Amino acid sequence: MPDESESVVDWDSLTFSFTKTDRMYLSKCKLGGEWAVGSMMDFEDLVISPAAGVLNYGQGLFEGMKAQRASDGSIVLFRPDRNAKRAQEGALRLGMPPVPEEIFLDAVIKTVRENSRWVPPMGKGALYIRPLLMGSGPILGVAPAPEYTFLVFTSPVGPYFKGGITPTSLRVSERFHRAAPGGSGGVKAIGNYAPGMIPSKMAKKEGYSEIIYLDAVNHRYIEEVGAANFFCVKDGVISTPELTGTILPGVTRASIIELAMARGYEVREEKVDVEYAMSADECFCVGTAAVVSSIGRIQYGERVKEYYSGEVGPVTRELYENLTAIQQKRSPDEFGWIVDVE
Ligand SMILES: *Cc1c(COP(=O)(O)O)cnc(C)c1O
């Protein structure tokens, strides 16, 4: 292991990509058994049966969190209990044994502590934390695997969108959907993400940052922006798609709703018609990776709507600044969202 004092990364050129770090957490559990506290080990490849449930039937889910360097030099997490609970709900949906919250949180904290030299200086990025739960035991019939692996690894990351704070350009997809009622769109099932790769790649090739998905039934209501939740503001009222089971319940989404309400905004969780969004004053998307990202323009069919002449709107800016100030301990943690790692 390199010397602790050695500067490991050029913090100024960080992107949202994978960089291997020193240590990872791993625990195993039999179907019908109970999770025990796992162990820390050096980061390494896994040995897995070709018949593993996850490889054959996609029985797996992931989480995404960030450890950040705060203004007082400490390392902090943002609402990790929410990720623990969401992973439990996802596990139940996918027939996997849920990891108890204490074990999940202990795993995350240990992994961050043992990779602390990879946490970027404040404002340069974050240490992205990737918990993964999967059916690792062999199974041939379509059924829950006999054994499960829960692991946590990390990677230092920079901004999710290449443009950083510059508003992104999005296109509404009229051809692809992300999730359908009764499916797995409401949990972070690994299988939800591969079908979005080609649509997203196609949009990027045409100069857009991401695509906006509409609902699969009416092809009319906005669901999500790639892997981030959508918000729009019209006449000072904030709207976001209601959680109907096809939308991933983002921790950032829930936090932005609470924060905006505390700042005096009216916030509506409702069906957001794409036509309404096209007539809104500003739009933005939120997520752990995207934080709060301003949307500069949306293309829907032949029409293009530009928001604030492609500049960051005032509500987007206010919420971004309020959220990041809490996350970096530059303002008081009025909601009790911050957890100290060290
Ligand atoms: C993870 C994710 C989000 C954002 O959730 P956060 O908890 O805020 O990071 C939104 N949409 C999808 C599809 C996601 O996978």
DSSP string, 219-236: S-BEEEETTEEEEEEETT
Mean pLDDT of all residues in 195-208: 95
275: confidence class by pLDDT, cuts 50, 70, 90:
very high
Bridge partners (DSSP) of residue 54 are: none
Q: Taking 60 as the threshold, does the pLDDT of residue 1 lie above it?
A: no
Residues 12-54: pLDDT tens digits?
888 889 999 999 999 999 999 999 999 999 999 999 999 999 9
Give residue 342's pLDDT. 82
DSSP string, 72-110: TS-EEEE-HHHHHHHHHHHHHHTT-PPPPHHHHHHHHHH
Q: In degrees rounded to 5, what are phi and psi of residue 156? A: -70, 140
Q: CA–CA separation, 61 vs 213, rounded Å?
A: 21
Q: With contact defined as beta carbons under 8 Å apart, do 282 and 293 qualify?
A: no
Nearest to 33, CA basis, from 144, 188, 176: 144
Mean confidence (pLDDT) of the chain: 95
pTM of the model: 0.96
Kindly state if the Cβ of 65 falls inside 6 Å of ligand 1: no
Token readout for 138 is 């062999």
Mean pLDDT of all residues in 297-324: 94
Name 179's Cβ contacts closer than 8 Å, sequence gap at least 6. Answer: 185, 186, 192, 213, 216, 223, 246, 247
Q: Taking 80 as the threshold, does the pLDDT of residue 7 lie above it?
A: no
Q: With contact defined as beta carbons under 8 Å apart, do 103 and 37 qualify?
A: yes
Mean pLDDT of all residues in 166-183: 94
Ligand 1 atom closest to residue 228's alpha carbon, by position in its atom list: 10
Q: Taking 80 as the threshold, does the pLDDT of residue 306 lie above it?
A: yes
Judged by DSSP in three states, 211 sits in strand
Q: In degrees rounded to 5, what are phi and psi of residue 323? A: -70, -50
Q: Taking 60 as the threshold, does the pLDDT of residue 82 lie above it?
A: yes
Kindly state if the Cβ of 288 falls inside 6 Å of ligand 1: yes
Give residue 158's pLDDT. 87
Residues designated catalytic: 188
Amino acid at 133: L
Pocket perturbation via mutation, ligand 1, pick of 177, 288, 292 by most ligand atoms within 8 A of CB: 288
Is there a shared CATH topology between the 11-157 domain and the 168-327 domain?
A: no
- CATH code of the domain made up of 168-327: 3.20.10.10
From atom 6 of ligand 1, which residue's Cα is the shortest distance away?
250
Kindly state if the Cβ of 229 falls inside 6 Å of ligand 1: yes
Q: Taking 70 as the threshold, does the pLDDT of residue 273 lie above it?
A: yes
Q: With contact defined as beta carbons under 8 Å apart, do 260 and 267 qualify?
A: yes
236: confidence class by pLDDT, cuts 50, 70, 90:
very high
Q: Taking 90 as the threshold, does the pLDDT of residue 262 lie above it?
A: yes
The residue ranges of every structural domain in the chain are 11-157, 168-327
107: confidence class by pLDDT, cuts 50, 70, 90:
very high
Q: Is the dihedral of CA 163, 190, 96, 50 positive or negative?
A: negative
Pocket perturbation via mutation, ligand 1, pick of 248, 256, 259, 323 by most ligand atoms within 8 A of CB: 248
Token readout for 58 is 């996609």
Where do we find the tokens 């692991």? 151
Judged by DSSP in three states, 134 sits in strand
**CATH architecture of the domain formed by 11-157:** 2-Layer Sandwich (3.30)
From atom 13 of ligand 1, which residue's Cα is the shortest distance away?
227
Judged by DSSP in three states, 25 sits in strand
Nearest to 30, CA basis, from 107, 97, 88, 94: 97
236 alpha carbon to ligand 1 midpoint, in Å?
A: 25
Kindly state if the Cβ of 250 falls inside 6 Å of ligand 1: yes
Q: With contact defined as beta carbons under 8 Å apart, do 149 and 136 qualify?
A: yes
Q: Is the dihedral of CA 251, 66, 181, 60 positive or negative?
A: negative
161: confidence class by pLDDT, cuts 50, 70, 90:
low
Q: Compute the residue count for the chain.
A: 342
Q: Taking 60 as the threshold, does the pLDDT of residue 6 lie above it?
A: no
Kindly state if the Cβ of 188 falls inside 6 Å of ligand 1: yes
